Structure 1
Amino acid sequence: MCDNAKWPLIPFEPWKESCAALHLQTQIVGKYRLAHTPWVNHSWHATLYVNADGLTTGLIPDGPGITVQFDLQRQRLVASCPTGKSDGFPLEPMSIAEFDSRFKKVIATLGGSPEYHGFPNELPDATPFAEDTAARPWDADAVSRFHRALVRIDAVFNEFRTGFLGKVSPVHLFWGSFDLAVTRFSGRPAPLHPGGIPNLPDAVTREAYSHEVSSAGFWPGGGGIDEPCFYSYAYPTPDRLAEQLVGPATARFDKKLGEFVLPYEAVRSAPDPRETLLEFLASTFDAAARLAGWDKGLACAIGQKGVPRLVG
């Protein structure tokens, strides 16, 4: 995992249109999961997860039980159920309306109910899926490299996740903002979030930020920063957070976004990408937790393979 040759190049500009298509496609699949899964705190029931093939929903309690997977190495959307049936279609150039139609047919074929909210979230000037008939490209090579980057990032995020004894989220992909994220909680209630995120009900945002958080994640690009980038922020934002020194030296506080950012390329090209990313995750969390007065006992050493954590 430390070999930077295993962290692929994923410049945003060459595949941004394909990235936008994949983003909307994950919204369709994610909304299907959302529609059929009981609510879990902070919308954790709606997310996607990185696996060896691409992105998966996990088992959705609809019909016989259905799992949907973006196989980003073989360029297919695949759905399967415990009866042994599966169905899918190639991931290729098509409109969002065409993807939506094909996906609904797949779910119906497996005995599921392809009913979900048909409008994108967290995107300004959004078009309903069924009406988005513009042709969309599909850069299969870029999509494959993006997935391989997610595999490396997911491993480091999961390692970082082990260094906390309090409530911590899974490592998961939020399809609304299209970011892979992991979030730590202080355990204290947070001020009411003001909401105002485009095409997202304020009630959802306020439930997501009901308690103090320190959150880190990864964007492939877009949404105010046009390069693949890691981020770290706290809600509520502690005073003087922007003034804190964090590592590595290539990290910075973006005043427009209100959070620390670290270019993916700075990690990929580092002598040890894993250590570089862990430094960013740990130092930005430490800065936020210290300023906000989090319980110091919540942090702990990163977990070791096969070694139970010592207690007492």
Structure 2
Amino acid sequence: MAKHRTQQAGAWPRLRLEDWAEARDTLHMWTQIVGKIRLDHAPPANQWWQVTLYVTPRGLSTSTIPYRTGAFEIEFDFVDRRLGIRVSDGSRRELVLESKSVAQFYAEIMGALGELGIHTRMYPRPNEVALAIPFPEDHRHAAYDPYAIRLFWGQLLSAHRVFGEFRSHFVGKASPVHFFWGAMDLAATRFSGRSAPEHPAGGVPNLPDRVTREAYSVELSSCGFWPGGGEEGGFYTYAYPEPAGFADHMVRPEAASYQRDAGEFVLPYETVAAAADPDRTLSEFLHSAYVAAAELGDWDRAVLEADPHHWEHR
């Protein structure tokens, strides 16, 4: 359990990856199952935006999913340790979030949907992981640490706040701040408006090339947070296609570094959490990396950017 080895520090919770690795991997598989349910029913959206989850005041949610003439929503409630399924006809079901195998979680949620009259088809294997155990057969991942997962959710809340403010400076096409269950990362992406070269085949385990081709069909600058890549997780930012000189551009703060194997700038979560002003430190990272991508990529910044408070003076 992480409770005895980690601590919460203000708005930026501290959580070492080694203290919740098993619970993290189990939660990852659970979010994949819920995300695939949304994928089956939500209408397509560019760059696969229809598949993501969203940070809520209690956890992670699918948001409203259309179904026949009604709708439903699935939410991980990390406060009350429940997974709630709510339907527009007033019916609902709940699952307890506790230590249980992925196979049991899969059976429970599919059973609950069936009781509610919601019929779902999915490819019952995880994506973007090297070991893709079919959900009905996965008895390996079976840990739930409520304390650690609440800390992780607190990290998502803080990252979401800063990503949202960063997004407000851009008036071109930009994604919501959303949670991609494939890699288990919170992300926000800006687009130049120009088409991008076709993404190379392969490179992402257990993910069809058609998915990456759509995700990277437009020139972009993306940032995110994921529970990996450092002692307490990490922030990242990258550009596709990567413009010449991007890797050598100065990105702040000094603790940020370019990882050539991944093709992205990274900043350890612990650097942000320990800073005198964590929000400002992360914002500096996001803005300076975006400027590198936009300047070197010759984006039309005058058209794509704006002071987020400009309408207050009209």
Q: 3-state SS of the aligned residue for 1:188?
A: strand
Q: How far apart are 1:165 and its partner, in Å?
A: 1.5
Pairs within 5 Å for 1:47-126: 47-63=52-68, 64-126=70-132
Amino acid at match of 1:41: N
Checking the alignment, whether the CA contact within 8 Å between 1:163 and 1:300 is kept in structure 2 is yes
| Match in the other structure for 1:290 | 295
Amino acid at match of 1:219: W
Q: How far apart are 1:227 and its partner, in Å?
A: 3.8
How many Å separate the matches in 1 of 2:35 and 2:196? Answer: 27
Amino acid at match of 1:190: A
Q: How far apart are 1:195 and its partner, in Å?
A: 2.8
Query: Residue 264 of structure 1: which of 262, 269, 273 is its match?
Result: 269
Checking the alignment, whether the CA contact within 8 Å between 1:186 and 1:295 is kept in structure 2 is yes
Q: How far apart are 1:155 and its partner, in Å?
A: 1.0
| Match in the other structure for 2:239 | 234
Amino acid at match of 1:215: S
Tell me the TM-score normalized by structure 2.
0.93
Identify which range, 131-140 or 174-183, moves more after superposition.
131-140
| Match in the other structure for 1:253 | 258
| Match in the other structure for 1:210 | 217
| Match in the other structure for 1:44 | 49
RMSD: 1.7
Checking the alignment, whether the CA contact within 8 Å between 2:171 and 2:305 is kept in structure 1 is yes
Pairs within 5 Å for 1:164-183: 164-183=170-189
Checking the alignment, whether the CA contact within 8 Å between 2:253 and 2:281 is kept in structure 1 is yes
Checking the alignment, whether the CA contact within 8 Å between 1:62 and 1:113 is kept in structure 2 is no
Checking the alignment, whether the CA contact within 8 Å between 1:179 and 1:218 is kept in structure 2 is yes
How many Å separate the matches in 1 of 2:89 and 2:245? Answer: 56
Task: Indicate whether 1:194 and 2:221 are aligned.
Answer: no
Identify which range, 212-221 or 250-259, moves more after superposition.
250-259
Count of equivalent residues:
305
Amino acid at match of 1:252: S
| Match in the other structure for 1:14 | 19
Checking the alignment, whether the CA contact within 8 Å between 1:77 and 1:90 is kept in structure 2 is yes
Q: Which sections of structure 2, spanning at least 5 residues, go unmatched?
A: 1-8
Checking the alignment, whether the CA contact within 8 Å between 1:49 and 1:55 is kept in structure 2 is yes
Checking the alignment, whether the CA contact within 8 Å between 1:159 and 1:302 is kept in structure 2 is no
Query: Residue 142 of structure 1: which of 143, 148, 156 is its match?
Result: 148
Amino acid at match of 1:308: W
How many Å separate the matches in 2 of 1:217 and 1:226? Answer: 16
| Match in the other structure for 2:39 | 34
How many Å separate the matches in 1 of 2:193 and 2:63? Answer: 27
Checking the alignment, whether the CA contact within 8 Å between 1:93 and 1:135 is kept in structure 2 is no
Residue deviations 1:21-53, cap 9 Å, x none?
A: 011100000001001111100000000000100
Q: How far apart are 1:149 and its partner, in Å?
A: 1.3
Q: Which sections of structure 1, spanning at least 5 residues, go unmatched?
A: none
Amino acid at match of 2:142: R
Q: How far apart are 1:133 and its partner, in Å?
A: 1.9
How many Å separate the matches in 1 of 2:129 and 2:266? Answer: 21
How many Å separate the matches in 2 of 1:236 and 1:169? Answer: 17
How many Å separate the matches in 1 of 2:52 and 2:258? Answer: 27
| Match in the other structure for 1:160 | 166
Q: How far apart are 1:86 and its partner, in Å?
A: 1.2
Q: How far apart are 1:281 and its partner, in Å?
A: 0.4
How many Å separate the matches in 1 of 2:115 and 2:226? Answer: 34
Q: How far apart are 1:300 and its partner, in Å?
A: 3.0
Q: Using a 3 Å threshold, how does the CA distance of structure 1 residues 298 and 19 change in structure 2: closer, same or farther?
A: farther
Checking the alignment, whether the CA contact within 8 Å between 2:38 and 2:65 is kept in structure 1 is yes
Amino acid at match of 1:203: R
Tell me the TM-score normalized by structure 1.
0.94
Amino acid at match of 1:258: G
Amino acid at match of 1:33: R
How many Å separate the matches in 2 of 1:247 and 1:228? Answer: 18
How many Å separate the matches in 2 of 1:153 and 1:62? Answer: 31
Q: 3-state SS of the aligned residue for 1:58?
A: coil
